[in-house]
Amino acid sequence: MTRIVADISVSLDGFVTGPDPGPDQGLGTGGEALHTWAFSDDPDDRRVLHEATVRSGAVVLGRRLFDLVDGPDGWDDETGYGAREAGRPAFVVVTSSPPASVRLGALDWTFVTTGLPDAVTAACERAGAASARDGKDLDVVLMGGGALIRSAFDAGLVDTLSLHLAPVLLGAGTPLFTGAAPRALVQRGAVPTTTATHLTYDVL
């Protein structure tokens, strides 16, 4: 069965970017520390990243994040979805205005202009097709940013929350959750490594 997984790195004080994120500094000041684990040689970090990447049938992201990964300093053949894993699932972008062109044209992009629920539906269809092709269950991954994941929680679209808790206090930035409605979670896994604690929760 296809799960909808919100997967994101977060600081100990709850931020998914540092202060002042922008086109030239997508993770904000100090925010690169959130993703140290993704480039770590710790075998448990590598395993967590690999397992998540190969389980991804389709990935949903917002337009701001798309602009960063498709920008001139974004993904390339060696560093992409899943960091050095550079996975190639289908990508579904939530946007009010599709881009005129895409630099990463070798990847499978779909642009949805009718809102997040429709984007998740499209991603489920793509993940279902990939599951049938590969003969195994694949997930829809909500990659972010933080506002997209908050909206997905508010809409009741998330089955599983996968947090990569980085040992850093950013002090400010983009919060993952703020003013969210109460929601019960059940912890299903915790993997501590030298660079992060990888936490998995079922969303009730």
* Predicted confidence (pLDDT) per residue in 154-175, tens digit: 999 999 999 999 999 999 999 9
Instruction: For residue range 99-120, list pLDDT tens digits in order.
Output: 999 999 999 999 999 999 999 9
Closest CA to 30 of 196, 168, 193, 197: 168
Between strands 185-192 and 197-203, the pairing is antiparallel
Percent of the chain topping pLDDT 90: 89
Instruction: For residue range 41-70, list pLDDT tens digits in order.
Output: 999 999 999 999 999 999 999 999 999 999
pLDDT-based confidence at residue 22 (cuts at 50, 70, 90) = confident
Give the H/E segment covering residue 200. Answer: strand 197-203
- What pLDDT is stored for residue 99 in this prediction? 97
Mean pLDDT of the region 34-38: 97
The token duo for 140 is 């829809």
- What pLDDT is stored for residue 181 in this prediction? 77
Closest CA to 60 of 185, 136, 147, 133: 147
pLDDT-based confidence at residue 23 (cuts at 50, 70, 90) = confident
- What pLDDT is stored for residue 182 in this prediction? 83
Q: What domains are there in the chain, each with its CATH number?
A: 4-60+114-203 (3.40.430.10)
Mean pLDDT of the region 138-142: 98
Mean pLDDT of the region 87-96: 97
The whole-chain average pLDDT of the chain stands at 95
Contact 123, 60 (CB under 8 A): yes
pLDDT-based confidence at residue 180 (cuts at 50, 70, 90) = confident
- What pLDDT is stored for residue 21 in this prediction? 87
- What pLDDT is stored for residue 199 in this prediction? 98
d(CA 174, CA 21): 8
d(CA 168, CA 184): 26
- What pLDDT is stored for residue 20 in this prediction? 87
